[in-house]
Each structure stands twice: as structure tokens, then as C-alpha cells.
Homo-oligomer: A and B are copies of this chain.
Amino acid sequence: MAEDKLPSRSENFAEWYNQLVLKAELADYAPVRGCMVVRPYGWTLWENMQAGLDRRFKETGHVNAAFPTLIPLSFFEKEKEHVEGFSPELAVVTHGGGEKLEEPLAVRPTSETIIGYMYSKWIKSWRDLPVLINQWGSVLRWELRTKLFLRTAEFYWQEGHTAHVSSEEALEETYRMLDVYADFAINDVAIPVIKGVKSETEKFAGAQMSTSIEAMMGDKRALQAGTSHFFGQNFAKAFEIQYLDQNNTLQYCHTTSWGLSTRMIGAMIMVHGDDQGLVMPPKLAPIQAVIVPIFKTDEEKQNVMQVADKVFTELKSAGIRIKLDDREEVTPGFKYNDWEMRGVPLRIEVGPRDVEKGSVALARRDILGREGKTFVPQAGLAQAVSQLLSEIQDALLKRATEFRDSNIHDPKDYEEFKQVVTDGWAFSWWCGSKECEAKVKEDTKATTRVIPFDQPDGEGQCIVCGEKAEKKVYFARAY
């Protein structure tokens, strides 16, 4: 039951987020520090995200498999940067079956190493390539500052791992999967994202190049919403992933990996939510429309419920994820608030006057109040609802895009830059040096988010040091 009021989103974004996740029953804190429980409403949302991604993975030729949760610690030592990046975050199994293990095992923080090991066994010839495997599961990176969906020790994700004959092919794959992520974010989650390359400082431990999609949250902070890494031959050399080419010569493979996690749920909440609660994009919403019957007398009840049942059956058979809220212990007003808080895109009200008129009222979650309300005939309702859901999906993307674009700035000097990144993003020339990146971070807490593929012509002067700069980059404070 949802009766306590949420904190205001504009006044206390962080608290609004934390309480909303709990109140909407998306997730909960686990008894193990740093871990979360994803509750059915949140998991159904994730299942819908999984379906959207998995379809795209399979359309681009990938298959799923499952690799072990436990990885020998020694595997991490094989790639120098990888071990430096992940060792401090490992959870380590030292005992099994009542005995101390000869070699400790890590709960996987990511699976490049164990998958690399298996690939070295499986791949023999150029005929075995490319290998295009994805895995759905969870990983664990020791982390005590928990923020549900955004930062937890254990989180849910998919990780794709591919091996190729050439650098070109592996690069193509890296970009292809970034495109898949961008397509999913934009068209399913209704979040506009910027595609580009991470700086050396921000890239994945062990990658030659990391690419990412970056999104702006409702508080104007940035969130890395998906990453696709090009490893060159780093992991192939560390794990001896080799193949015989067409001239019978032994060659190292070129590999990639790419991942997208339940962070995307956090992004969805922070981009679309408002003071009333969640706003779910129709394509992902566990419940796309909820029917609320309204009546006072028994006679009204009978008539109203007859129509409500009919509408339910019709919309369900049209493939709409529909719920009929027939609770009698709470008022319609309570139900409105409850489902608004849970972000159901569309409310369908059926009252005695609707029964008379052969109509229903449709109320949009994204436009509250009268402005978002229409009265439509019961006849042909499934089509009207589908149409409206599609409009809502588009409207969410449009609103998020306008919000983002109006909060990206092009400051004229470093003074203005420092101002801008306190409440927005800066898109500025950067010389590429780690020193300038570090200075920005120290001065403003902002980091380089992504060097977009989409660049202006010519060159400019670094916003920090004034030296020649070939690329513009997005700077922002990030989650």
C-alpha cells in the first residue's frame, strides 16, 4: 500500500530515487551488505529489457551460453591491466565442502578470463571463427556504497564475448554492438544516448579501446548506460586464443566484449520519473494499462464490472499487458495514485456514465491531469490504446531529448566551463592529456564521459590548457 508521499524530485533527487525504488517494489536491500533483491515488478521490467536485447543479439548472429560463477584467482594475473582493475573488488571463496581450497576462487566480476580460457580450448581453425557468444547472469564487484540498480556489489547484466580472425572484424563487432545498445536505449527505453569512445583514464581494464553510450539523468548527471570493448590481441595473448589461418599458420584472435546491466533500470527511473513516481516507457512496462472501475451502488458495480471485464479480455487478447484493479478495500483515487507511482503508462477509467455512453476515459501517465485525458468509444478500444501507447513512447523520447539538449553547453572559457558542469554537461575541445582530465576532475568532480563519433569539423583549443585540440568531448559529473 502506497500512502506516504515521496520526497520532491526537484528538491531531493537522491532521496526521491531511493524511496521510489523501494516504494514501487522494484528492488530491496539484501541482508548481505552491498547486495540487492530485485522484486517481481523490477524483474519483470528487466525481463522485458532482456527480451528486447536478446532479440537484437540473435538477429546479429549471437548465441547464449553459460560459464561458471567461480574463477581461479590465478586467471586474473594473466592480463596485467585487468588484474590491477579487478583485484581490489573481488569476493574470494577460500573453502569448499568443509575444506580449505588449494587455490582460492573469485566470484566472477566479469568473465573475460574464464571465457578466454575456454575459447583457447575450442578455437582451432579459421573455420571456427567468429565465435559470437553472450551470457546472461550476475557478477560481483565488492562495493559497500549501495545505490539500488546503480551501484551494488552484485548486479545483473549480459556480457558478450567474441573472437575474430582480424582486427577489422573485431572493431566492426565492437561498433555493431554499441549500435545495438544505442538502438535499444533510444527505441525501447526512450533514452537518447551519445555514442563514442572513452578516454584512456575511463576505459575498461585490459581494453585497447572502450566505447560507450552515455545518457543524461533527470538531475543532469551522466550515466554510462552500456559499453563495448575492443581488446585487440591482449586477451588472446594472455590466454593463447589461437587459430590456424587459411595458410595453416598459427594466429592470435582479436576479441571484444560488451555489457549492459540493470543500471539501465536506474537510468529509466531517473530520466522519465517525476514527483508522482515512476514513468515507464510502454515498450518495457510490466503493466501497460490498468483498468480502474468506478461505482457506488451495487447496480452500478454490476454494470461497470461487466464493461471492465470486457475491456480487460479484449485488450489482453490484443497482446496489451493489462491489469484490472478490482480491489474493493481502497478507493479509485487511491488506485490512481498507486498506479501513477508505479509508472503504468495508461489508466483506463470505467464509471457509470461510461457504461451509458459506451465510452471509457484514458489518462496518460506522462501528461497528468485534464490535459492528458481523453474519452474514447469502447468499440475499437484495443487499437486506440495501442496507438496511444505508441504516442506515449515517442513523447517520452522527445521530452528526454529536449531536456538533454537544453542542458548541454559549449562554454567559452574554463571559468564558464567550471560553472556549467555544476548543473549540466559541457561539450568542449580537449587536448587529450590526462593532466587536463585530472585537473577538471579535481576542480569540478566532472570527468570526460565520451568522445563522440560525431565531431565538428576542424580543430580547436583545449578548454583547460588552451593547447591545440583535435576532438571535442563531453564533460559531466557522473553516476
Q: Closest CB-CB distance, A415 to chain B, in whole Å?
A: 39
Q: Closest CB-CB distance, A41 to chain B, in whole Å?
A: 8
Decide: A93 and B93 in contact? CB cutoff 8 A. Answer: yes
Q: Closest CB-CB distance, A319 to chain B, in whole Å?
A: 15
Q: Is A344 located at the chain interface by the 8 A CB criterion?
A: no
Decide: A97 and B32 in contact? CB cutoff 8 A. Answer: no
Q: Is A31 located at the chain interface by the 8 A CB criterion?
A: yes
Name A105-125 residues within 8 Å CB distance of B: 105, 107, 114, 117-118, 121-122
Decide: A69 and B140 in contact? CB cutoff 8 A. Answer: yes
CB-defined contacts of A390 to chain B, threshold 8 Å: none
Contact of A92 among B66, B94, B117 (CB under 8 A): B94
Can you name the residue of chain B whose Cβ is closest to the Cβ of A133? B40
CB-defined contacts of A153 to chain B, threshold 8 Å: 96
Given A40-B133, A69-B138, CB of A28 within 8 Å of CB of B121: yes
Q: Closest CB-CB distance, A393 to chain B, in whole Å?
A: 24
The distance in angstroms between the C-alpha atoms of A377 and B294, with both chains bound, is 60
The distance in angstroms between the C-alpha atoms of A46 and B133, with both chains bound, is 15
The distance in angstroms between the C-alpha atoms of A89 and B99, with both chains bound, is 10
Pick from A31, A36, A44 the residue with the most CB of B within 10 Å: A31
Q: Is A39 located at the chain interface by the 8 A CB criterion?
A: yes
Decide: B64 and A32 in contact? CB cutoff 8 A. Answer: no
CB-defined contacts of A63 to chain B, threshold 8 Å: 40, 43-44
Pick from A43, A90, A93 the residue with the most CB of B within 10 Å: A93
Name A136-191 residues within 8 Å CB distance of B: 137-138, 140, 142-144, 153-154, 156
Decide: A105 and B65 in contact? CB cutoff 8 A. Answer: no
Contact of A30 among B68, B92, B93 (CB under 8 A): B68
| Per-position 1/0 for A262-305, Cβ under 8 A of B | 00000000000000000000000000000000000000000000
| Per-position 1/0 for A24-41, Cβ under 8 A of B | 000010111001111110
The distance in angstroms between the C-alpha atoms of A140 and B69, with both chains bound, is 9
Decide: B68 and A154 in contact? CB cutoff 8 A. Answer: yes
Contact of A68 among B37, B39, B71, B133 (CB under 8 A): B37
Name A36-61 residues within 8 Å CB distance of B: 36-40, 42-44, 46-47
Given A63-B43, A64-B40, A154-B70, CB of A95 within 8 Å of CB of B96: no
Can you name the residue of chain B whose Cβ is closest to the Cβ of A142? B97
CB-defined contacts of A67 to chain B, threshold 8 Å: 30, 37
Q: Is A72 located at the chain interface by the 8 A CB criterion?
A: yes
CB-defined contacts of A133 to chain B, threshold 8 Å: 40
Given A114-B31, A118-B37, CB of A70 within 8 Å of CB of B97: no
Q: Closest CB-CB distance, A30 to chain B, in whole Å?
A: 5
Contact of A72 among B31, B39, B143 (CB under 8 A): B31
Q: Closest CB-CB distance, A377 to chain B, in whole Å?
A: 32
CB-defined contacts of A154 to chain B, threshold 8 Å: 68-70
Q: Is A324 located at the chain interface by the 8 A CB criterion?
A: no
CB-defined contacts of A137 to chain B, threshold 8 Å: 137-138
Decide: B156 and A72 in contact? CB cutoff 8 A. Answer: no
Q: Is A88 located at the chain interface by the 8 A CB criterion?
A: yes
Contact of A66 among B117, B142, B144, B156 (CB under 8 A): B156
Q: Is A91 located at the chain interface by the 8 A CB criterion?
A: yes
Q: Is A98 located at the chain interface by the 8 A CB criterion?
A: yes
CB-defined contacts of A37 to chain B, threshold 8 Å: 65-68, 118
Decide: B30 and A114 in contact? CB cutoff 8 A. Answer: yes
Can you name the residue of chain B whose Cβ is closest to the Cβ of A262? B66
The distance in angstroms between the C-alpha atoms of A389 and B131, with both chains bound, is 30
Contact of A142 among B46, B96, B117, B144 (CB under 8 A): B96
Can you name the residue of chain B whose Cβ is closest to the Cβ of A138? B69
CB-defined contacts of A118 to chain B, threshold 8 Å: 28, 30, 37
CB-defined contacts of A329 to chain B, threshold 8 Å: 127
Beyond A37-B65, A90-B97, A127-B329, 7 extra complex contacts between A and B, CB < 8 Å = A37-B66, A38-B65, A42-B65, A69-B140, A87-B98, A92-B95, A96-B153
A-B contact pairs, 16 of them (CB 8 A): A28-B122, A31-B72, A37-B66, A43-B63, A43-B64, A43-B65, A43-B66, A44-B64, A90-B97, A90-B98, A91-B97, A91-B105, A92-B95, A92-B96, A94-B95, A97-B142
Q: Shortest 8 CB-CB distances between A and B: which pairs?
A: A97-B142, A40-B63, A35-B68, A92-B95, A38-B66, A30-B68, A96-B142, A91-B96
